[in-house]
Amino acid sequence: MKTLYLCAVLMGSQLMTFAQATGDILKQQAGQGVKEGANVVTQQAGQKVTDKVLGKLFNKKSKKSVNEAEVPANAGTPVQTNVGTSGQPGQPSLQTYSKFDFIPGDKVLAVDDFGKDEVGDYPANWNTNASAETVTSSAGAGHWLMFTKQGKFFPEYISGLPDNFTLEYDVAANDKFSYYGPFFTVYLLTGKNNKELFDNWFMVDGKRSGVKLGLHPTGGSNIGVSSMESFENGESAMKNQVNTGQFSDRDGKGFRKVHVSIWRQKQRLRMYLNEEKVFDMPRALPDGKPYGVVLFEVSPDMKPDDHYLLGNIKLAAGAPDTRNRLLTEGKFSTTGILFDINSAAMRPESYGSLKDIADVLTENGSVKVKIIGHTDSDGDATLNLILSKKRAEAVKDVLVKTFSIDASRMTTDGQGAGQPVASNSTPEGKAQNRRVEFVKM
């Protein structure tokens, strides 16, 4: 009897080994197929990649950059005016951001949507010790930077970080991202963005201070993970890791996407994923040190069928003082109220800025304001003028319906691109010109 039992155990073990080996072979074959598909993207930049290989992630699109906010010269479709949602099916509404207190800085320092970079190329104003490429994707309009290998990647155009700044960007990952895949990490550090960053001991040898913020789209119960670690003079000071549900597939388009918002106020650092505040650390950054590096890292290496996408980077300086500027100076403008492309449909990330102005109006009941929309100079001037007026009306509508501000206290207008506050020849200038202004009456 004992002999029969041992034979059965041995046969079961052999069957399990065979099944595991078969599974490994299938995984290797599948991974090789994805590698070949990725090579096609590199060799035939912008051309169609089969949906079977990349899970419908990429779409064949023009290499021309899509402007984030303005109407193109040949636009012939009516402007959308719905507010309170992002304008896209399945996207979170403005109301879901009711606890979102993030307010972007009032002076735009850097904007990067990779629109100037050719599909298939690594951005000319970035540096790396690995490789990445500019792609188009169903994850969103315009260009994205795709990472498929471990390495360090940093924008050379960022060389200083003020005491008060905000950093925003979008991150997407394929829907079936491996649980064992690497984190997508951003460092905010002292020192310079030079070749020393490529050394694996750049934190310790460089005696750098700062913070490391990481994202992973899958974790326990497949809901995603966010991590943080603070450094002082090259040594780890504190760390933590939390679960987050923000990487859920909201759009049903086969990818996991999240909007990252980081807000520094001297030592204090807040991090938001979509509307969720995942970290709020009053002593995250060691005091009295000059910070000048934004560094993205993927480590260790990717699984063959995994990739991250980075897009829509915006760095802004300043701590907005809405109350003082509106009540004392008589006017206040913000770039923090955002709209869908060619549309007056408001994006939910606008909630913090809207609540900021609504609080001032609620606490000062006699104040009346004119809301004025502004655009950059891209596209047809007449259409931009119409769009700016509709966006001002959309802001008023939200202030009335969501924040209960009396409609009789507000009038609206739009100036199109007629009153720029910065040059329209740079992405940063255009972003500064796309604004909503509140003028005390």
* pLDDT for 251: 55
Q: For all residues of the chain together, what is the average pLDDT? A: 82
Region for 424 from its dihedrals, namely left if φ exceeds 0, alpha if ψ lies in -120 to 50, beta otherwise: alpha
Residue labelled with tokens 């388009």: 253
What's the token pair of residue 383?
């259409």
In angstroms, rounded to a whole number, what is the distance separating the alpha carbons of residues 289 and 173? 34
Residue ranges of the chain with per-residue pLDDT less than 50: 1-90
In angstroms, rounded to a whole number, what is the distance separating the alpha carbons of residues 96 and 58? 29
19-44 per-position pLDDT tens digit? 444 343 333 333 333 333 333 333 33
Contact of 209 with 229, CB cutoff 8 Å:
no
Report yes or no on whether pTM surpasses 0.85: no
The phi, psi pair for 196, rounded to 5°, reads -60, -25
Residue labelled with tokens 């720029």: 420
- Specify the 3-state DSSP secondary structure of 154: strand
130: exposed, middle or buried (Cβ count in 10 Å: 0-12, 13-18, 19+): middle
* pLDDT for 28: 36
Q: In the chain, how many H helices and how many E strands?
A: 7, 19
In angstroms, rounded to a whole number, what is the distance separating the alpha carbons of residues 316 and 262? 11
Q: How far is CA 256 from CA 143, 147, 222, 238, in A?
A: 17, 15, 11, 28
* pLDDT for 277: 95
- Specify the 3-state DSSP secondary structure of 256: strand
Domains of the chain: residue spans and CATH: 114-311 (2.60.120.200), 322-440 (3.30.1330.60)
β-bridge pairing 210-216 and 225-232: antiparallel
Contact of 347 with 389, CB cutoff 8 Å:
no
* pLDDT for 252: 59
Using a pLDDT cut of 70, give the percent of the chain over it: 78
